[in-house]
Amino acid sequence: MEHNREVEIDGNSNPIQISRLALDIGGSLIKLVFFSRNSGDDEDPPKDLVGVSSGVNGRLHFAKFETAKINDCLQFISANKLLLGGGFQHQENCTNDRSFIKATGGGAYKFSELFKEKLGISLEKEDEMDCLVTGANFLLKAVNQEAFTYLNGSKEFVQIDHNDLYPYLLVNIGSGVSMIKVDGDGKFERVSGTSVGGGTFWGLGKLLTKSQSFDELLELSHRGDNRAIDTLVGDIYGGMDYLKIGLSSTTIASSFGKATSHNKQLEDYKPEDISRSLLRMISNNIGQISYLNALRFGLKRIIFGGFFIRSHSYTMDTIAVAVHFWSKGEAKAMFLRHEGFLGALGAFMSYETHSLDDLVVNQVMPLPVNASLGTDTNYDPLKGDLNGTESIQCSVYRA
Ligand SMILES: Nc1ncnc2c1ncn2[C@@H]1O[C@H](COP(=O)(O)OP(=O)(O)OP(=O)(O)O)[C@@H](O)[C@H]1O
Ligand SMILES: CC(C)(CO)[C@@H](O)C(=O)NCCC(=O)O
């Protein structure tokens, strides 16, 4: 199992101090965020940070598991002693077990008893939408090189002006899709949603292509050609554009339209073409609904999160093109490096409002990983698919 390893920091096997673990237990995936403290290098806070005294340096770690394999997740938590540690204490040997951990997502309700039974821990439930917004705001404000645009195959990081962040539309593409108008910290409204989301792509794709994993299905789409199965405007117009209404001959007129052909069966289509067509159909649809909701509220920025995206270039390109096309260039699609961890980060941050309100997370910088969770040490944020095996350096300050 990919993530089922013991945590090592900086490539050595010294035990690490884990403080704070938070979970987002979704319909498809469980996301974990936890903080490990670097040994012995507390530091003074920066001068411009008022009202805080000492700081704790450490790393935020990210991991994910399929919800269907929740036992792997429970095993990971116990093997890595993630329930030890009681906040950001300064004592060297902090061994007081937590009696609860913060959790969000539907699974925080569904699996509450399982966590109690297997790990002896209660899940303190945090609202999913609240957590998504808190997580997104945190990433946008605190993490360098977090948000980027994607057009014509090239990524461009966006410098976020803290005074000009709101309002924006947050579109979280998980199993289903939530669209949230964000007006500030804790100020938001879920304005729409659609059940045609990541679960639809994976579910239909599995049935139609016999793929055994989401990654396999995504990989298939790289090699596919959707024109084999989609009906294009040109197929209907004898190779011509229909420019009067702004449609070129290569625009998809009807997703999966060619599959209506009487003399073809499922076996006559290549799995890679089906996967590509499906990915395009779902990404396009989400892009279009997002744009319509942005239009409803006059929002110019649409920020996409959720594990459906997986930093996959074709997915991002399709969504960005859809937003650009429908808004005639007025609205911009943005993506996040930690796309899949918004809810888990929000749950993680929610500790502050209860037991740890004297703590401020600050100075978060993306750094290449040092062997944490067996990750790639050559991580390149420009290319990266942050796949739940990364960590970022951060400091936490005590008031
Ligand atoms: N390894 C994977 N296994 C299954 N699905 C994956 C995987 N990687 C990416 N996905 C995609 O990510 C989606 C789940 O995304 P995410 O984890 O953000 O949502 P969730 O929290 O599980 O769902 P919801 O919020 O609707 O309960 C899946 O539906 C699938 O499209
Ligand atoms: C039900 C949730 C919020 C669970 O995460 C998500 O899957 C979702 O937003 N689904 C879309 C439901 C709808 O608005 O039609």
Q: pLDDT category, 65, cuts 50, 70, 90?
A: very high
According to the model, what pLDDT value does residue 153 have?
Answer: 86
Q: pLDDT category, 392, cuts 50, 70, 90?
A: confident
According to the model, what pLDDT value does residue 159 have?
Answer: 92
Mean pLDDT of all residues in 91-114: 80
Q: pLDDT category, 38, cuts 50, 70, 90?
A: confident
According to the model, what pLDDT value does residue 59 have?
Answer: 82
Give buried/exposed letters for 166-185 (b at 16+ CB in 10 A, else e). Answer: bbbbbbbbbbbbbbbbbeee
Domains of the chain with CATH codes? 17-132+341-398 (3.30.420.40), 147-196+282-336 (3.30.420.40), 233-268 (no CATH)
**DSSP character string of 292-308:** HHHHHHT--EEEEESTT
82 alpha carbon – ligand 1 mean position (Å): 23
Q: What is the ipTM of this complex?
A: 0.99
Percent of the chain with pLDDT over 90: 69
The pTM score is 0.88
Residue 398 tokens, joined: 């005590």
According to the model, what pLDDT value does residue 143 have?
Answer: 86
Tens of pLDDT, residue by residue over 151-207, are: 888 999 999 998 999 999 999 999 999 999 999 999 999 999 999 999 999 999 999
Give the binding-site residues of ligand 1, using a 6 Å CB cut-off: 26-29, 66, 105-106, 174-176, 198-199, 201-202, 214, 306-308, 310, 340
Contact 273, 232 (CB under 8 A): no
Q: Whose CA is nearest to atom 1 of ligand 2?
A: 176
